[in-house]
Structure 1
Amino acid sequence: MTALSVLDLVPVREGGTVAEALQAATELAKAAERCGYKRFWVAEHHAIDGIAGGATSVVLAHLGNATSTIRIGSGGIMLPNHTPFQIAEQFGTLDALFPGRIDLGLGRAPGAGPELQRALRKNLHQAAEMFPQDVLELRALITGDVELPIHATPGHGANVEFWMLGSSLFGAQLAARLGMPYAFAAHFAPDQLDDALALYRRDFQPSQQLDRPHVMVAMNVFAAETDAEAELLATSQQQSFVRLRTGNPGKLPPPIEGYREALPANAQAMLDHLGQAAAVGSVSTVRAKVAAFIERTGADEIIVSGATFDPAARIRSLELTMEAMRR
């Protein structure tokens, strides 16, 4: 069976608090571990009221204490926001606390708008241009494969699994050149999925970490007892996505009956576009759609995203999704 993992943005729902969102993420990670998911990743986003995972390494430390076997990691750390040395220390600390369980997924996007540049006191455009060099420096700080004038303690010698994240050909090219596993964010940017995976597999160069290409693809999955129930649950995330793309982001709203049908044609087309990397429905529907997506991509792993207003519904979705793929 293709391995399944979980991506969580630590959503803050309308009427809820950051503390409640973090507690919900903790319960979700524990449920993912019980169900047999391989990894639980948290994504770094900033200055969005509805997302509470910005201090990603801190969130991962909490999740590590709440679980015992599931791998935990970043999906991803937006490296231009940081220095390689800081991330080496943070993830070296995580590895010391939770040995053999830490993934470090790296992305090039800042994870917020231009106001973040002022808040971080950084030229993020320039930092993004330095991304390949920073990845090499970060890897050297942890693995020691290149001699540097300074050692990160903690960090140096840590057993961290590196991943390259991407939603375009750039990340695929870099992952292939560095011999890293590659995770594609099809759940929100599916346009270049097929081309990126083909390029990555064609140009992959073996490394000490990896001897052959390894692909994980993200998709939105909402599983429930019936197709209608799953489609209703999915409307919370659909509302959030439409609001984000139209410049009005906020907290995760409750589901709305008939939401999709009430949207203007351009918004419906936006959601239809995302639907090519989604599975929404009952166990049988999810099984068929995920299987078709695996057939299309040849993915070694699928990482499932999909925020629900009711945290219990997300846990149930994980349970049913794993049930669907084990049948």
Structure 2
Amino acid sequence: MPALSVLDLIPVRSGQTTGEALRASTALVKTADELGYRRFWVAEHHNTTSVASTNPPVLIAMLASATERISVGSGGVMLPNHAPLVVAEQFALLEAAFPGRIDLGIGRAPGTDPLTRYVLRGQSAESADEAVARFAEYVDDIGMLMRPEGVEMSYGPRVQPLRATPHATSVARMWLLGSSDYSARLAAQKGLPYVFAHHFFGQGTAEAIKLYRDTYQPSEAHPEPRTFLTVNASVAETKEQAYRLAIPHMQAMIALRVGGALEAQRSVEEAEEIGFPEGQDRMADAMASRWIVDEPESARRRIAEFAAEHGVDEVMVQPIGGALAAHPVDRYPSRERTLRLLAG
């Protein structure tokens, strides 16, 4: 088996408050830490009723404080939404508090709707587009600002030092994240680790990873290309049980793709009662075929084959098992069970 890691969007289900969802994710990261998972990442999504992971740095501090060993990071910070200095300051402080345990995964997409994007930056649509266009420059800025020596900048007649934190002794690990060849090319050009969003698209992974490896330019920090894979997973004692637990997430992903509303995640019983409209059952089956929806032994074998196929030594799973009506609102028993069954 390759090393295993976890991606958590902190889903909010029906009848659950934000605080209860956060407590459930805290229990999930403790489970991952206990089982020896390598890292635990949280995403950045805004203005949705089904996802509580709006602010990765705040969540990372919370989750790292609750654990002892596991690396905690962002999967990712959507850089066009933020000033580079702010991101550098946040992750320099996190690294100072939890040295060697912080990952800064950076994405280029806004991860939200146009209104929220505007409010986040307080800028016009043209300025927001400029932030996307300057993504490569902003990545460099963050890397330089987090260094112990920082940078020197001219401001009027003065040359002034600028650094993210007064006295850094280590630097958060930077990763570029993407769902197209843009980030693969940029990560290769800058000699940075790279992750393709396979869990979201399920296609184009081999091409993106090959492009990254073939064009990689070694850096001092990373003489060799470094990447891993992401995949959705629902694992239970039988494949049928695993599929049943995955239905709420399938319905949410189908709604996203057909332009439906993203509501609080349904319980498994609610999702079963609604089912899939005609035609969407085929979409659900297609999703399940690309995800790891299986019993433990077969799930572990498929993950090992998946890693070997793409030549990686790590797979990050997003546990997607839904909650039963009887489950406590401050835990994710199905998701915790997936981690336990995969860990063996």
TM-score using structure 2 length? 0.88
Alignment of 1:24-103 (within 5 A): 24-103=24-103
Q: State which of 137, 140, 150 in structure 2 corresponds to 1:136.
A: 140
Q: Output the amino acid matched with 2:233.
A: V
Q: Deviations over 1:156-212 (max 9, x none)?
A: 554211111111101100111111111111011122211101100101111122111
Q: What pairs with 1:177-196 in structure 2 (closer than 5 Å)?
A: 177-196=189-208
Task: Give the partner amino acid of 1:93.
Answer: L
Counterpart amino acid of 2:86?
Q
Which residue is equivalent to 1:321? Answer: 342
Rounded Cα–Cα distance in structure 2 between residues aligned with 1:241 and 1:94: 32
Name the structure 1 match of 2:159: none
Cα distance, 1:124 vs structure 2 = 2.5
- The partner residue of 1:200 within 186, 206, 212 is 212
Deviation at 1:59, TM superposition (A): 0.8
* Offset, 1:146: 7.3
Deviations 1:65-120 (A, max 9, x none): 10010000000000100011001110111111111100000000011111122212
Q: What's 1:301 paired with?
A: 314
- Aligned residues between the structures: 322
The offset of 1:296, in angstroms, is 2.3
Question: Which residue pairs with 1:279 in the alignment?
Answer: 292
Find the residue that maps to 1:16 and give its secondary structure. Answer: coil
Contact 1:50 1:252 in 2 (8 A): yes
Report if the CA contact (8 A) 1:76-1:107 is conserved.
yes
Matching of residue 153 in structure 1 with residue 165 in structure 2: yes
Query: Quick check: 169-178 or 269-278, which moved more?
Result: 269-278
The 8 Å contact of residues 140 and 148 in structure 1, kept in 2 or not, is answered as no
Q: Once the 2 structures are TM-superposed, how far is the Cα of residue 26 of structure 1 from its aligned partner?
A: 0.3
- Distance change >3 Å, CA 7–CA 154, structure 1 → 2: farther
Equivalent of residue 277 in structure 2, options 236, 253, 263: 263
Partner Cα distance (1:162, 1:56) in 2: 14
Any idea what SS the aligned residue of 1:293 has? Answer: helix
The amino acid across from 2:338 in the alignment is S
**Inter-CA distance 294–145: structure 2 relative to 1 (3 Å threshold):** farther
Displacement, 1:295?
2.7
CA distance in 2: counterparts of 1:155 and 1:224, whole angstroms: 47
> Sequence identity, in percent?
39
Contact 2:180 2:208 in 1 (8 A): yes
State which drifts further: 208-217 or 128-137: 208-217
Q: CA deviation at 1:145?
A: 7.8
The separation in 2 between residues aligned to 1:260 and 1:253, in whole angstroms, is 10
**Deviation of the 1:269 alpha carbon:** 4.6
Q: Does 137-146 or 251-260 show the bigger shift? A: 251-260
Secondary structure, in 3 states, of the residue corresponding to 1:187?
helix
**SS of corresponding position for 2:201:** coil
Tell me if the contact between 2:319 and 2:338 (Cα under 8 Å) persists in the aligned partners. no
Please state if 1:312 is matched with 2:324: no
Q: Which residue of 1 aligns with 2:253?
A: 241
- 1:119 equivalent in structure 2: 119
Instruction: Could you tell me which runs of 5 or more consecutive residues in structure 1 were left unpaired when the two chains were aligned.
Output: none
SS across alignment from 2:233: strand
Name the stretch that deviates more: 33-42 or 190-199.
190-199
Q: Give the conservation status (yes or no) of the 8 Å contact 2:118–2:128.
A: no
Cα gap change, 1:148/1:259 in structure 2, threshold over 3 Å: closer, same or farther? farther
TM-score by length of 1: 0.93
Counterpart of 2:177 in structure 1 is: 165
The Cα shift of 1:144 comes to 5.7
Distance 1:317 1:154, change over 3 A: farther
RMSD: 2.0
Supply the AA of the counterpart residue of 1:293: F
Deviates more, 1:271-280 or 1:256-265: 256-265
- Change in 2 beyond 3 A, CA 1:202/1:259: farther
**Helix, strand or coil at the partner of 1:100:** coil
SS in 2 for 1:54: coil
